[in-house]
Structure 1
Amino acid sequence: MDIQVLGVGEAADPSFANSSLIVAAGGFRLMIDCGHSVPPVLWREVPDPDAIDALYFTHHHPDHCFGLIPTLIRWTDDRRSKPLDIVTTIGGWKQLALLFQAGATDPERSLSFPLRWIETPEDGTLGPFRLRTALTRHSMPNRAIRLEAGGVAFAHSGDGRATPDSEDLFRGADLLFHECLTVEPDPLQPFHAAFSQLSDFPERLGVRAMRLYHVRMGERDRLAAACAAGTRTSLAEPGERIVLQAQAPAA
Protein backbone atom coordinates (compact mmCIF):
# COMPACT_ATOMS: atom_id res chain seq x y z
CA MET A 1 0.00 0.00 0.00
CA ASP A 2 1.34 3.42 -1.00
CA ILE A 3 0.26 6.73 0.57
CA GLN A 4 0.92 10.02 -1.22
CA VAL A 5 0.29 13.11 0.91
CA LEU A 6 -1.10 16.10 -1.00
CA GLY A 7 -2.01 18.45 1.83
CA VAL A 8 -1.87 18.60 5.62
CA GLY A 9 -3.27 22.05 6.45
CA GLU A 10 -6.30 23.31 8.29
CA ALA A 11 -9.12 25.19 6.58
CA ALA A 12 -7.48 28.60 6.01
CA ASP A 13 -3.76 27.87 6.26
CA PRO A 14 -1.90 29.97 3.64
CA SER A 15 1.21 27.77 3.81
CA PHE A 16 -0.26 24.26 3.59
CA ALA A 17 -2.97 22.91 1.29
CA ASN A 18 -6.03 21.38 2.94
CA SER A 19 -5.62 17.84 4.23
CA SER A 20 -5.84 15.30 1.41
CA LEU A 21 -3.99 12.19 0.34
CA ILE A 22 -4.03 9.30 -2.12
CA VAL A 23 -3.93 5.65 -1.08
CA ALA A 24 -2.89 3.17 -3.78
CA ALA A 25 -2.85 -0.62 -3.93
CA GLY A 26 -3.00 -3.05 -6.83
CA GLY A 27 -3.01 -0.22 -9.39
CA PHE A 28 -6.11 1.37 -7.78
CA ARG A 29 -5.89 4.92 -6.40
CA LEU A 30 -8.31 6.29 -3.82
CA MET A 31 -8.16 9.98 -2.98
CA ILE A 32 -9.41 11.02 0.46
CA ASP A 33 -10.98 14.52 0.57
CA CYS A 34 -10.53 17.38 -1.88
CA GLY A 35 -10.75 20.76 -0.18
CA HIS A 36 -10.69 24.21 -1.75
CA SER A 37 -6.88 24.55 -1.80
CA VAL A 38 -6.10 20.99 -2.96
CA PRO A 39 -6.67 21.07 -6.77
CA PRO A 40 -3.46 22.94 -7.76
CA VAL A 41 -1.39 20.47 -5.73
CA LEU A 42 -3.25 17.52 -7.25
CA TRP A 43 -2.80 18.80 -10.81
CA ARG A 44 0.90 19.38 -10.22
CA GLU A 45 1.67 16.11 -8.42
CA VAL A 46 -0.73 13.84 -10.35
CA PRO A 47 -1.09 15.29 -13.86
CA ASP A 48 -2.69 12.19 -15.41
CA PRO A 49 -6.48 12.87 -15.45
CA ASP A 50 -7.18 9.12 -15.33
CA ALA A 51 -4.90 8.40 -12.37
CA ILE A 52 -7.53 8.62 -9.61
CA ASP A 53 -10.10 5.81 -9.53
CA ALA A 54 -12.25 6.98 -6.61
CA LEU A 55 -12.82 9.90 -4.24
CA TYR A 56 -13.83 9.39 -0.61
CA PHE A 57 -15.26 12.27 1.38
CA THR A 58 -14.98 12.07 5.15
CA HIS A 59 -17.41 15.00 5.44
CA HIS A 60 -18.43 18.13 3.56
CA HIS A 61 -16.91 21.21 5.10
CA PRO A 62 -15.30 23.48 2.46
CA ASP A 63 -11.74 22.41 3.29
CA HIS A 64 -12.70 18.80 2.51
CA CYS A 65 -14.94 19.05 -0.56
CA PHE A 66 -14.90 22.48 -2.27
CA GLY A 67 -12.10 21.38 -4.62
CA LEU A 68 -14.34 18.77 -6.28
CA ILE A 69 -15.87 20.89 -9.06
CA PRO A 70 -12.58 22.53 -10.21
CA THR A 71 -10.97 19.09 -10.21
CA LEU A 72 -13.69 17.55 -12.36
CA ILE A 73 -13.64 20.49 -14.79
CA ARG A 74 -9.86 20.21 -15.17
CA TRP A 75 -10.06 16.45 -15.74
CA THR A 76 -12.70 17.04 -18.41
CA ASP A 77 -10.47 19.64 -20.10
CA ASP A 78 -7.66 17.05 -20.00
CA ARG A 79 -9.98 14.42 -21.57
CA ARG A 80 -10.40 12.03 -18.69
CA SER A 81 -12.27 9.00 -20.01
CA LYS A 82 -12.79 6.40 -17.29
CA PRO A 83 -15.56 6.52 -14.68
CA LEU A 84 -14.92 8.06 -11.27
CA ASP A 85 -16.40 6.55 -8.12
CA ILE A 86 -17.48 9.09 -5.50
CA VAL A 87 -18.00 7.58 -2.06
CA THR A 88 -20.02 9.65 0.38
CA THR A 89 -23.09 9.61 2.58
CA ILE A 90 -26.62 10.27 1.37
CA GLY A 91 -26.48 13.66 3.08
CA GLY A 92 -23.16 14.27 1.39
CA TRP A 93 -24.66 13.60 -2.04
CA LYS A 94 -27.18 16.37 -1.40
CA GLN A 95 -24.44 18.80 -0.39
CA LEU A 96 -22.31 17.94 -3.41
CA ALA A 97 -25.35 18.47 -5.65
CA LEU A 98 -25.45 22.05 -4.39
CA LEU A 99 -21.77 22.41 -5.32
CA PHE A 100 -22.51 21.27 -8.86
CA GLN A 101 -25.35 23.79 -9.04
CA ALA A 102 -23.17 26.63 -7.72
CA GLY A 103 -20.44 25.69 -10.18
CA ALA A 104 -22.85 25.60 -13.14
CA THR A 105 -21.75 22.04 -13.81
CA ASP A 106 -24.17 19.28 -14.77
CA PRO A 107 -22.55 16.01 -13.64
CA GLU A 108 -24.44 14.08 -16.33
CA ARG A 109 -23.77 16.41 -19.26
CA SER A 110 -20.83 18.69 -18.50
CA LEU A 111 -18.14 16.07 -17.89
CA SER A 112 -16.20 13.88 -20.30
CA PHE A 113 -16.58 10.85 -18.00
CA PRO A 114 -19.33 9.31 -15.87
CA LEU A 115 -19.57 9.64 -12.09
CA ARG A 116 -20.66 6.63 -10.07
CA TRP A 117 -22.12 7.44 -6.65
CA ILE A 118 -21.46 4.94 -3.84
CA GLU A 119 -23.00 5.29 -0.41
CA THR A 120 -20.39 5.19 2.36
CA PRO A 121 -20.46 1.71 3.91
CA GLU A 122 -19.77 0.79 7.51
CA ASP A 123 -18.02 -2.32 6.18
CA GLY A 124 -17.54 -3.02 2.49
CA THR A 125 -15.07 -3.16 -0.39
CA LEU A 126 -13.75 -0.68 -2.94
CA GLY A 127 -11.29 -1.79 -5.59
CA PRO A 128 -8.68 -3.94 -3.80
CA PHE A 129 -9.54 -2.47 -0.39
CA ARG A 130 -11.66 -3.68 2.46
CA LEU A 131 -13.20 -0.38 3.55
CA ARG A 132 -14.60 0.26 7.02
CA THR A 133 -15.85 3.54 8.50
CA ALA A 134 -16.93 5.01 11.85
CA LEU A 135 -18.28 8.33 13.09
CA THR A 136 -16.06 10.77 14.96
CA ARG A 137 -17.24 13.63 17.18
CA HIS A 138 -17.50 16.56 14.79
CA SER A 139 -19.78 19.51 14.06
CA MET A 140 -21.21 17.64 11.06
CA PRO A 141 -21.26 13.88 10.39
CA ASN A 142 -17.69 12.77 9.68
CA ARG A 143 -16.80 9.18 8.91
CA ALA A 144 -13.24 8.09 9.62
CA ILE A 145 -12.00 5.43 7.22
CA ARG A 146 -9.88 2.27 7.47
CA LEU A 147 -8.44 0.61 4.36
CA GLU A 148 -6.97 -2.89 4.35
CA ALA A 149 -5.09 -4.54 1.48
CA GLY A 150 -2.03 -6.74 1.11
CA GLY A 151 -1.86 -7.56 4.80
CA VAL A 152 -1.62 -3.93 5.97
CA ALA A 153 -4.12 -1.40 7.34
CA PHE A 154 -4.25 2.37 6.94
CA ALA A 155 -6.66 4.58 8.91
CA HIS A 156 -7.62 8.23 8.46
CA SER A 157 -9.73 10.20 10.89
CA GLY A 158 -11.08 12.99 8.73
CA ASP A 159 -11.97 15.69 11.27
CA GLY A 160 -13.23 15.37 14.81
CA ARG A 161 -12.38 14.03 18.21
CA ALA A 162 -12.18 10.28 18.58
CA THR A 163 -15.16 8.20 19.65
CA PRO A 164 -15.19 4.61 20.95
CA ASP A 165 -16.23 3.51 17.45
CA SER A 166 -13.42 5.40 15.71
CA GLU A 167 -10.87 4.11 18.23
CA ASP A 168 -11.99 0.57 17.43
CA LEU A 169 -11.57 1.41 13.75
CA PHE A 170 -8.00 2.59 14.32
CA ARG A 171 -6.97 -0.34 16.50
CA GLY A 172 -3.97 -2.26 15.16
CA ALA A 173 -3.50 -0.02 12.10
CA ASP A 174 -0.06 0.03 10.53
CA LEU A 175 -0.45 3.78 9.97
CA LEU A 176 -2.99 6.24 11.36
CA PHE A 177 -3.45 9.79 10.06
CA HIS A 178 -5.33 11.80 12.68
CA GLU A 179 -6.34 15.45 12.68
CA CYS A 180 -4.81 17.41 15.56
CA LEU A 181 -5.60 21.09 15.79
CA THR A 182 -3.71 21.95 19.00
CA VAL A 183 -1.40 20.53 21.64
CA GLU A 184 -3.97 20.90 24.43
CA PRO A 185 -7.76 20.89 23.97
CA ASP A 186 -9.24 24.25 23.00
CA PRO A 187 -12.60 24.80 24.76
CA LEU A 188 -13.68 26.93 21.81
CA GLN A 189 -13.02 24.01 19.41
CA PRO A 190 -14.83 21.04 20.97
CA PHE A 191 -15.00 19.19 17.66
CA HIS A 192 -11.26 19.01 16.95
CA ALA A 193 -8.66 16.74 18.53
CA ALA A 194 -5.63 17.76 20.58
CA PHE A 195 -2.30 16.01 21.01
CA SER A 196 -2.94 15.30 24.68
CA GLN A 197 -6.01 13.28 23.66
CA LEU A 198 -4.13 11.29 21.01
CA SER A 199 -0.64 10.73 22.38
CA ASP A 200 -1.39 7.31 23.85
CA PHE A 201 -3.00 5.93 20.68
CA PRO A 202 0.12 4.08 19.42
CA GLU A 203 0.48 2.16 22.69
CA ARG A 204 -3.17 1.86 23.72
CA LEU A 205 -4.57 1.01 20.29
CA GLY A 206 -1.55 -0.88 18.96
CA VAL A 207 -0.97 1.58 16.10
CA ARG A 208 2.46 1.11 14.52
CA ALA A 209 2.84 4.76 13.45
CA MET A 210 0.73 7.91 13.66
CA ARG A 211 0.91 11.12 11.59
CA LEU A 212 -0.86 14.29 12.70
CA TYR A 213 -2.37 16.85 10.30
CA HIS A 214 -4.89 19.74 10.21
CA VAL A 215 -2.70 21.62 12.68
CA ARG A 216 -3.65 25.16 13.66
CA MET A 217 -1.45 27.89 12.22
CA GLY A 218 1.22 28.74 14.78
CA GLU A 219 0.97 25.35 16.53
CA ARG A 220 3.23 23.25 14.29
CA ASP A 221 6.46 23.95 16.20
CA ARG A 222 4.85 23.19 19.56
CA LEU A 223 3.25 20.07 18.19
CA ALA A 224 6.49 18.90 16.60
CA ALA A 225 8.22 19.29 19.97
CA ALA A 226 5.46 17.29 21.66
CA CYS A 227 5.80 14.52 19.07
CA ALA A 228 9.57 14.38 19.58
CA ALA A 229 9.05 12.92 23.04
CA GLY A 230 7.83 9.66 21.47
CA THR A 231 8.99 7.39 18.67
CA ARG A 232 5.85 6.55 16.71
CA THR A 233 4.11 9.92 16.27
CA SER A 234 5.13 12.75 13.95
CA LEU A 235 3.67 15.55 11.86
CA ALA A 236 2.43 14.67 8.39
CA GLU A 237 4.41 16.47 5.70
CA PRO A 238 3.10 17.56 2.30
CA GLY A 239 4.61 15.61 -0.56
CA GLU A 240 5.76 12.65 1.51
CA ARG A 241 5.33 9.12 0.19
CA ILE A 242 4.84 6.27 2.61
CA VAL A 243 4.94 2.61 1.63
CA LEU A 244 3.27 0.13 3.98
CA GLN A 245 4.37 -3.46 3.79
CA ALA A 246 3.15 -6.47 5.71
CA GLN A 247 5.37 -7.40 8.62
CA ALA A 248 7.15 -10.71 8.47
CA PRO A 249 5.88 -13.16 11.12
CA ALA A 250 8.03 -13.38 14.21
CA ALA A 251 10.50 -16.25 14.19
Structure 2
Amino acid sequence: MDIHVLGVGESADPALPNSSVIVSADGFRLMIDCGHSVPPVLWRELPDPDAVDALCFTHHHPDHCFGLVPALIRWTDDRRSKPLGIVTTADGRRQLGQLFQAGGIDPERSLSFPLQWSETPAEGEVGPFRIRTAPTLHAIPNLAIRLEAGGKSFAYSGDGRATEESEALFRGADLLFHECLTVEPDRSQPFHAAYTQLSGLPDRLAIRAMRLYHVRRDLRRELAAACAADPRIALAIPGERIAL
Protein backbone atom coordinates (compact mmCIF):
# COMPACT_ATOMS: atom_id res chain seq x y z
CA MET A 1 0.00 0.00 0.00
CA ASP A 2 1.30 3.44 -0.94
CA ILE A 3 0.08 6.78 0.45
CA HIS A 4 0.69 9.87 -1.67
CA VAL A 5 0.00 13.08 0.28
CA LEU A 6 -1.49 15.81 -1.91
CA GLY A 7 -2.47 18.32 0.75
CA VAL A 8 -2.39 18.81 4.51
CA GLY A 9 -3.71 22.35 5.04
CA GLU A 10 -6.74 23.57 6.93
CA SER A 11 -9.60 25.23 5.10
CA ALA A 12 -8.11 28.73 4.79
CA ASP A 13 -4.38 28.01 4.65
CA PRO A 14 -2.80 30.35 2.03
CA ALA A 15 0.34 28.23 1.66
CA LEU A 16 -0.78 24.59 1.87
CA PRO A 17 -3.47 22.82 -0.19
CA ASN A 18 -6.44 21.29 1.57
CA SER A 19 -6.15 17.84 3.13
CA SER A 20 -6.17 15.06 0.54
CA VAL A 21 -4.34 11.79 -0.02
CA ILE A 22 -4.20 9.10 -2.69
CA VAL A 23 -3.95 5.53 -1.46
CA SER A 24 -2.73 2.92 -3.95
CA ALA A 25 -2.65 -0.87 -3.99
CA ASP A 26 -2.45 -3.37 -6.87
CA GLY A 27 -2.44 -0.54 -9.43
CA PHE A 28 -5.68 0.99 -8.07
CA ARG A 29 -5.65 4.62 -6.84
CA LEU A 30 -8.26 5.82 -4.36
CA MET A 31 -8.30 9.56 -3.66
CA ILE A 32 -9.69 10.71 -0.31
CA ASP A 33 -11.29 14.19 -0.40
CA CYS A 34 -10.84 16.92 -3.00
CA GLY A 35 -11.12 20.39 -1.49
CA HIS A 36 -11.14 23.75 -3.22
CA SER A 37 -7.33 24.14 -3.30
CA VAL A 38 -6.47 20.54 -4.20
CA PRO A 39 -6.93 20.40 -8.04
CA PRO A 40 -3.75 22.30 -9.04
CA VAL A 41 -1.53 19.98 -6.99
CA LEU A 42 -3.51 16.96 -8.23
CA TRP A 43 -2.87 17.97 -11.84
CA ARG A 44 0.83 18.53 -11.17
CA GLU A 45 1.37 15.30 -9.24
CA LEU A 46 -0.80 13.08 -11.46
CA PRO A 47 -1.16 14.65 -14.91
CA ASP A 48 -2.63 11.48 -16.44
CA PRO A 49 -6.43 12.04 -16.49
CA ASP A 50 -6.97 8.30 -15.96
CA ALA A 51 -4.64 8.08 -12.92
CA VAL A 52 -7.34 8.18 -10.23
CA ASP A 53 -9.75 5.23 -10.15
CA ALA A 54 -12.12 6.41 -7.41
CA LEU A 55 -12.80 9.31 -5.06
CA CYS A 56 -14.04 8.87 -1.49
CA PHE A 57 -15.36 11.79 0.57
CA THR A 58 -15.19 11.94 4.36
CA HIS A 59 -17.65 14.86 4.43
CA HIS A 60 -18.75 17.79 2.31
CA HIS A 61 -17.32 21.02 3.65
CA PRO A 62 -15.73 23.17 0.88
CA ASP A 63 -12.17 22.22 1.83
CA HIS A 64 -13.05 18.57 1.28
CA CYS A 65 -15.25 18.56 -1.82
CA PHE A 66 -15.27 21.88 -3.73
CA GLY A 67 -12.39 20.75 -5.95
CA LEU A 68 -14.47 17.97 -7.52
CA VAL A 69 -16.02 20.02 -10.33
CA PRO A 70 -12.71 21.59 -11.50
CA ALA A 71 -11.11 18.13 -11.42
CA LEU A 72 -13.89 16.65 -13.53
CA ILE A 73 -13.72 19.51 -16.04
CA ARG A 74 -9.94 19.16 -16.41
CA TRP A 75 -10.15 15.38 -16.80
CA THR A 76 -12.79 15.82 -19.49
CA ASP A 77 -10.65 18.40 -21.30
CA ASP A 78 -7.77 15.90 -21.15
CA ARG A 79 -10.03 13.15 -22.54
CA ARG A 80 -10.30 10.85 -19.57
CA SER A 81 -11.97 7.67 -20.76
CA LYS A 82 -12.38 5.22 -17.89
CA PRO A 83 -15.19 5.45 -15.33
CA LEU A 84 -14.60 7.28 -12.05
CA GLY A 85 -15.95 5.76 -8.86
CA ILE A 86 -17.38 8.18 -6.30
CA VAL A 87 -17.93 6.88 -2.79
CA THR A 88 -20.05 9.10 -0.56
CA THR A 89 -23.14 9.10 1.64
CA ALA A 90 -26.65 9.53 0.27
CA ASP A 91 -26.77 13.08 1.66
CA GLY A 92 -23.31 13.71 0.26
CA ARG A 93 -24.43 12.69 -3.22
CA ARG A 94 -27.29 15.19 -3.02
CA GLN A 95 -24.85 17.91 -1.95
CA LEU A 96 -22.51 17.06 -4.81
CA GLY A 97 -25.48 17.23 -7.17
CA GLN A 98 -26.02 20.82 -6.04
CA LEU A 99 -22.33 21.47 -6.61
CA PHE A 100 -22.66 20.18 -10.19
CA GLN A 101 -25.59 22.53 -10.75
CA ALA A 102 -23.66 25.51 -9.38
CA GLY A 103 -20.72 24.63 -11.65
CA GLY A 104 -22.86 24.11 -14.73
CA ILE A 105 -22.01 20.40 -14.95
CA ASP A 106 -24.41 17.72 -16.15
CA PRO A 107 -22.63 14.47 -15.25
CA GLU A 108 -24.64 12.56 -17.85
CA ARG A 109 -23.78 14.88 -20.75
CA SER A 110 -20.87 17.16 -19.87
CA LEU A 111 -18.19 14.60 -19.04
CA SER A 112 -16.11 12.37 -21.30
CA PHE A 113 -16.41 9.48 -18.82
CA PRO A 114 -19.12 7.98 -16.61
CA LEU A 115 -19.39 8.39 -12.85
CA GLN A 116 -20.05 5.24 -10.86
CA TRP A 117 -21.68 6.11 -7.55
CA SER A 118 -21.61 3.95 -4.44
CA GLU A 119 -22.77 4.70 -0.91
CA THR A 120 -20.08 4.80 1.77
CA PRO A 121 -20.30 1.46 3.57
CA ALA A 122 -19.89 0.75 7.25
CA GLU A 123 -17.90 -2.19 5.91
CA GLY A 124 -17.29 -3.24 2.32
CA GLU A 125 -14.84 -3.12 -0.58
CA VAL A 126 -13.51 -0.44 -2.93
CA GLY A 127 -11.17 -1.79 -5.60
CA PRO A 128 -8.59 -3.96 -3.80
CA PHE A 129 -9.30 -2.34 -0.44
CA ARG A 130 -11.40 -3.58 2.41
CA ILE A 131 -13.02 -0.39 3.71
CA ARG A 132 -14.59 0.32 7.07
CA THR A 133 -15.93 3.65 8.36
CA ALA A 134 -16.97 5.27 11.64
CA PRO A 135 -18.34 8.70 12.62
CA THR A 136 -16.25 11.43 14.23
CA LEU A 137 -17.53 14.43 16.17
CA HIS A 138 -17.73 17.24 13.63
CA ALA A 139 -20.01 20.16 12.73
CA ILE A 140 -21.58 18.07 9.95
CA PRO A 141 -21.57 14.28 9.50
CA ASN A 142 -18.04 13.02 8.88
CA LEU A 143 -16.87 9.44 8.40
CA ALA A 144 -13.37 8.32 9.29
CA ILE A 145 -12.04 5.67 6.92
CA ARG A 146 -9.91 2.55 7.38
CA LEU A 147 -8.43 0.84 4.33
CA GLU A 148 -6.81 -2.59 4.38
CA ALA A 149 -4.90 -4.35 1.60
CA GLY A 150 -1.95 -6.73 1.44
CA GLY A 151 -1.93 -7.19 5.20
CA LYS A 152 -1.49 -3.44 5.83
CA SER A 153 -3.92 -0.88 7.24
CA PHE A 154 -4.26 2.88 6.76
CA ALA A 155 -6.77 5.04 8.65
CA TYR A 156 -7.85 8.60 7.85
CA SER A 157 -9.97 10.63 10.23
CA GLY A 158 -11.45 13.27 7.97
CA ASP A 159 -12.31 16.18 10.27
CA GLY A 160 -13.53 16.13 13.84
CA ARG A 161 -12.71 14.87 17.28
CA ALA A 162 -12.28 11.17 17.86
CA THR A 163 -15.26 9.13 19.06
CA GLU A 164 -15.44 5.65 20.60
CA GLU A 165 -16.39 4.37 17.17
CA SER A 166 -13.52 6.06 15.34
CA GLU A 167 -11.00 4.98 17.98
CA ALA A 168 -12.15 1.39 17.55
CA LEU A 169 -11.69 1.85 13.80
CA PHE A 170 -8.13 3.15 14.27
CA ARG A 171 -7.00 0.37 16.63
CA GLY A 172 -3.91 -1.46 15.39
CA ALA A 173 -3.50 0.66 12.23
CA ASP A 174 -0.08 0.71 10.59
CA LEU A 175 -0.59 4.42 9.86
CA LEU A 176 -3.20 6.91 11.04
CA PHE A 177 -3.70 10.33 9.49
CA HIS A 178 -5.67 12.44 11.96
CA GLU A 179 -6.98 15.99 11.76
CA CYS A 180 -5.37 18.18 14.44
CA LEU A 181 -6.26 21.86 14.36
CA THR A 182 -4.64 22.99 17.61
CA VAL A 183 -2.17 21.93 20.29
CA GLU A 184 -4.57 22.32 23.23
CA PRO A 185 -8.38 21.99 23.01
CA ASP A 186 -10.00 25.24 21.90
CA ARG A 187 -13.49 25.99 23.20
CA SER A 188 -14.18 28.03 20.08
CA GLN A 189 -13.43 24.95 17.95
CA PRO A 190 -15.46 22.15 19.58
CA PHE A 191 -15.55 20.05 16.42
CA HIS A 192 -11.80 19.81 15.80
CA ALA A 193 -9.13 17.69 17.47
CA ALA A 194 -6.15 18.90 19.49
CA TYR A 195 -2.71 17.35 19.94
CA THR A 196 -3.18 16.72 23.65
CA GLN A 197 -6.30 14.67 22.82
CA LEU A 198 -4.45 12.59 20.22
CA SER A 199 -0.92 12.11 21.55
CA GLY A 200 -1.86 9.05 23.59
CA LEU A 201 -3.46 7.15 20.70
CA PRO A 202 -0.34 5.25 19.54
CA ASP A 203 0.09 3.66 22.96
CA ARG A 204 -3.59 3.24 23.79
CA LEU A 205 -4.66 1.89 20.38
CA ALA A 206 -1.41 0.16 19.29
CA ILE A 207 -1.03 2.46 16.28
CA ARG A 208 2.39 2.14 14.66
CA ALA A 209 2.66 5.66 13.22
CA MET A 210 0.54 8.81 13.10
CA ARG A 211 0.60 11.89 10.89
CA LEU A 212 -1.28 15.06 11.83
CA TYR A 213 -2.88 17.34 9.24
CA HIS A 214 -5.40 20.20 8.98
CA VAL A 215 -3.25 22.15 11.45
CA ARG A 216 -4.18 25.78 12.10
CA ARG A 217 -1.87 27.81 9.90
CA ASP A 218 -0.32 29.81 12.77
CA LEU A 219 0.31 26.75 14.96
CA ARG A 220 2.35 24.48 12.71
CA ARG A 221 5.68 25.32 14.35
CA GLU A 222 4.30 24.84 17.86
CA LEU A 223 2.66 21.55 16.91
CA ALA A 224 5.82 20.28 15.21
CA ALA A 225 7.72 20.95 18.45
CA ALA A 226 5.11 19.00 20.42
CA CYS A 227 5.37 16.06 17.99
CA ALA A 228 9.13 15.86 18.58
CA ALA A 229 8.44 14.14 21.90
CA ASP A 230 7.27 10.95 20.15
CA PRO A 231 9.02 9.60 17.03
CA ARG A 232 5.79 7.85 16.00
CA ILE A 233 3.98 11.18 15.56
CA ALA A 234 4.78 13.85 12.96
CA LEU A 235 3.14 16.50 10.83
CA ALA A 236 2.01 15.27 7.42
CA ILE A 237 4.01 16.81 4.57
CA PRO A 238 2.61 17.71 1.13
CA GLY A 239 4.14 15.52 -1.58
CA GLU A 240 5.23 12.89 0.93
CA ARG A 241 5.08 9.25 -0.22
CA ILE A 242 4.70 6.58 2.44
CA ALA A 243 4.98 2.88 1.64
CA LEU A 244 3.37 0.45 4.07
Q: TM-score, normalised by structure 1?
A: 0.97
1:72 alignment counterpart = 72
Spell out, residue by residue over 1:136-169, the C-alpha distance to the aligned partner (whole angstroms, 9 max, x if none).
Answer: 0000000000000000000000000000000000
Please give the alpha-carbon distance, in whole angstroms, between the structure 2 residues aligned to 1:231 and 1:30: 28
Partner of 1:144: 144
1:98 match: secondary structure: helix
User: 2:14 & 2:180 partners in 1: Cα distance?
Assistant: 18
For residues 12 and 183 of structure 1, what CA distance do their matches in structure 2 show?
A: 18
Aligned mates of 2:229, 2:104 — CA distance in 1: 50
For normalisation by structure 2, the TM-score amounts to: 1.00
Gaps of 5+ in 1: 245-251
What displacement does 1:217 show? 1.1
Aligned pairs for 1:63-102 (under 5 A) are 63-102=63-102
Match of 1:193 in 2: 193
Q: Which residue of 2 aligns with 1:10?
A: 10
The percent identity for this pair of structures is 75
Q: Where does residue 106 of structure 1 map in the other structure? A: 106
Q: Helix, strand or coil: the match of 1:215?
A: coil
Task: Kindly provide the amino acid, as one letter, of the partner of residue 186 in structure 1.
Answer: D
SS at match of 1:239: coil
Give the 4+ runs in structure 1 shifted more than 4 A.
none
SS across alignment from 1:159: coil
CA distance in 2, matches of 1:239, 1:153: 20
Alignment-derived partner of residue 230 in structure 1: 230
Quote the RMSD (CA, aligned, Å): 0.3
The offset of 1:60, in angstroms, is 0.1
Query: Matched residue of 1:36: which SS?
Result: coil
Q: Which amino acid aligns with 1:65?
A: C
> Partner of 1:203: helix, strand, or coil?
helix
SS of alignment partner, residue 3 of structure 1: strand
Measured against aligned partners, the alpha-carbon deviations of 1:108-145 in whole angstroms (never above 9, x if no partner) come to 00000000110000000011000000000000000000
Superposition deviation, residue 177 in structure 1: 0.1
The alignment covers a number of residue pairs equal to 244
Distance 1:76 1:219 in 2: 38
